[in-house]
Amino acid sequence: MKQATLKLAAIAMIIGGTTSIAKAQTTASNNINVVTTAVPFLRVSPDARSTGMGETGIATSADAYSNFWNLGKTPFAKKNASIGATYTPWLNDLDLKDVYIASLAGYYKLDETQAISAGVRYFSLGDIQFTDASGNNIGNNRPREFAAEVGYSRKLGAKSGLGIGVRYISSDLASGSYNGVNYKKGSSVAGDIHYFHNGAKENGEGFNWGVTLSNLGSKISYTDDNNQKDFIPANLGLGAAYTKVFDADSKLTFAADVNKLLVPTPDTTAASLANYRNQGVVESWGKSFGDAPGGGSEELREVTASVGAEYTYKDQFSFRAGYFYESPQKGNRRYATVGAGLKYNVIGLNLAYIFPSGAGISRNPLSNTIRFSLLFDIDK
């Protein structure tokens, strides 16, 4: 019962919309004003390699999951094609076996200058028993969310690549009428634009960087009220990576990413809340850089930062570590990560672990969780 209650509380927070959550947080403390969105699973690292490196992936070397991080990397991939699958338990500390995130991704190089990519992410929130205010059972539901996407990328020159993608998002959290409100499945369509600069030499040593615009799409609604639509996590990402090649067998990569949600910062005044809901999507992208009530200092606190390192030996064994930081006033996600990888012939296995951090509501739902990715590389 406790597990079901916890899951139901999480569902209620998601369905309740971004404004109500932010309002409650701001009321509790004048220093806390979290920027929240619908479908937050799109912000979870979808693969074990990037997780092990502190959730960096914008400028690291290309792999099967490049379409989630930076489509511009894909034409620079060494293999002709690659497929990856990842399983991530959610709220592992509570032993909830039916709550997890799974992803499947891959690419195929049409030639040396262009490639196509595809991916799917699926978030299962388990079986939920809904009750009314008196505790009477009013039915069961199985909330779930998924996103399916395709992308195309090509080299713009010897050292740069551009990728574009389109994504369909479905969020089925509840259906029916509760407390006089009719809930329904929400959906949205979004696009990505990614750029990658490859400054590495033939042996892989050098400096890479990238810029990404992700989840640029329509709002999502869970009710029949068109004034209660929520923003999806549109995001601006900047990343850099440097690889040092020591010899033919070993190399070390350092990576760093920063990300900023292109979503309005909520305020608690009635006029501001109304304005928040009425903002257009394109309008909100630009305003997100200057609408924080605390001014420029608060805008800077909305930027998350992650750093990571990866040591590779003989292209078969990899060891990774990283750190992710988010301001305490903007969510307080802060944790260290470790990871490892094993590659044999065309098959690879990556593992990642997030060290426990925080307590209560600030505890990361992926703490004490081992996630794993299975990769299959296909060469010509």
Indicate the burial class of 124 (C-beta count within 10 angstroms; 0-12, 13-18, 19 or more): middle
Average pLDDT over every residue of 5-25: 41
Question: 116 exposed, middle or buried (CB, 10 Å; 0-12, 13-18, 19+)?
Answer: middle
How far, in Å, CA of 207 to CA of 199, rounded? 5
Whole-number pLDDT of residue 273: 65
Q: How confident is the model at residue 12 (pLDDT cuts 50, 70, 90)?
A: very low
> What is the percentage of the chain residues whose pLDDT exceeds 70?
83
Residue 122 has pLDDT above 80, yes or no: yes
Q: How many CB atoms lie within 10 A of CB 342?
A: 12
Q: What is the dihedral of CA 20, 21, 26, 31, to 10 degrees?
A: -160
Q: For residue range 141-180, what is the model confidence (pLDDT) as tens digits?
A: 788 999 999 999 999 999 999 999 999 999 998 777 777 7
Provide the 3-class DSSP secondary structure of residue 85: strand
Mean pLDDT of all residues in 269-289: 78
Contact between residue 147 and residue 165 where contact means Cβ atoms under 8 Å apart: no
For 95-148, give the DSSP string: T-TTEEEEEEEEEEESSSSEEEEEEEEEEEE--EEEE-TT--EEEEE--EEEEE
Task: Check residue 99 and give its pLDDT.
Answer: 85
Residue 6 has pLDDT above 50, yes or no: no
For 34-73, the pLDDT digits (tens) are 888 999 999 999 999 999 999 999 999 999 999 999 999 9
**Cβ 122 vs Cβ 146: under 8 Å:** yes
Mean pLDDT of the chain: 85
What pLDDT is attached to residue 67? 92
Helix (H, G, I), strand (E, B) or coil at 294: coil
Mean local confidence (pLDDT), 349-365: 73
For the record, the structure tokens of 221 come out as: 């609604």
Structure tokens at 301: 């606190």
- Are 96 and 3 contacting, i.e. CB atoms less than 8 angstroms apart? yes
CA 123 to chain centre: 12
Highest mean pLDDT among 140-149, 222-231, 316-325: 316-325
